[in-house]
Amino acid sequence: MLLLMVGNLIIIPVGITFFKDEHTPPWIVFNVVSDTFFLMDLVLNFRTGIVKEDNTEIILDPQQIKIKYLRSWFVVDFISSIPVDYIFLIVETRIDSDFYKTARALRIVRFTKILSLLRLLRLSRLIRYIHQWEEEVIDIFEGVQEDQALGMAANLGFKGPLQRQAADQIKRLYDLFLKVDATQVEVNPLGETPEGQVVCFDAKISFDDNAQFRQKAVFAMDDESESDPTETAAAKWDLKYIGLDGNIACFGARIFHMTYDLASAMVRIVNLIGMMLLLCHWDGCLQFLVPMLQDFPPDCWVSKNKMVVPIVLSNE
């Protein structure tokens, strides 16, 4: 769905601006398939949970979802999903049988191009999809909020009552994270039992060595025989040893967090660059589309650069 959305935002401006005939079978098939998928997405949005703007609650009740969606993004999504240009052409063709032979044909074609631009409103969906992929930031003073836990549970694939259970487990994991002065809590897997219960089947917890004076009971359970001897030797010198392939290793306590933060920053930069390139692409298409709709007046940049091929009509 995301790839189809990006493809629409790139291809549609090119087709509207530079294609001489937008009603060829391949172009019609592309638009029909795209419009069908977006209409299906429109219907599914009535069953998709919505997070309130203040991030204090996630709405899961179907009736409330419908009301909230109708009052927010429904109009934009509906307009961008309906093939208004094709509907307009069909209606005009039925009204005037000599549609393509009249002087108004050119004006109608231009108007349909403008109507086709309504599909670019799908950009709002792309922004919403990208926003859902952003990392979940937790305020350490407020803890994991109910809507955040429900959102993470939904991303893990839990639905209905299981989603509530998984959200409760996530909040408990965060409480445990703070209680034992952990640096990382890794759960794999978090699954469902045959009895319909959400359980953490396996977990790995890393503790902050600087908190050993507070967590004496936790560190007393450390079994060095289960640890890598090299890691144990490095720990005596307050070093964190991370073994890699072959005879390569890293010393440092925050190598994972640094890598993760770097990857997150790169994703945000790529998103920003992609949005800038998309807007530049739209601007380039519109710079040509506007003079074209005006029949390329002599003072436009297209005519001045002699980019218009004159059409000579002959009765021969």
Higher confidence at residue 158 or residue 53? 158
Give the 3-state secondary structure of residue 222: coil
Give the 3-state secondary structure of residue 304: helix
Percent of the chain surpassing pLDDT 90 = 2
Element (H, E) at 297: none
Q: Is the pLDDT of residue 173 over 60?
A: yes
Percent of the chain surpassing pLDDT 70 = 72
Mean pLDDT value across residues 200-206? 84
Q: Whose CA is closest to 161, among 148, 150, 172, 152?
A: 150
Spatial separation of the C-alpha atoms in residues 205 and 234, rounded to whole Å: 19
Average per-residue pLDDT for the chain: 75
Buried b (16+ CB within 10 A) or exposed e, 16-35: bbeeeebeeeeeeebbeebb
Contact in structure between 149 and 138 (CB atoms under 8 Å):
no
Spatial separation of the C-alpha atoms in residues 311 and 292, rounded to whole Å: 14
Q: Is the pLDDT of residue 250 over 80?
A: no
Residue with tokens 């959400």: 198
pTM for this predicted structure: 0.48
Contact in structure between 198 and 190 (CB atoms under 8 Å):
yes
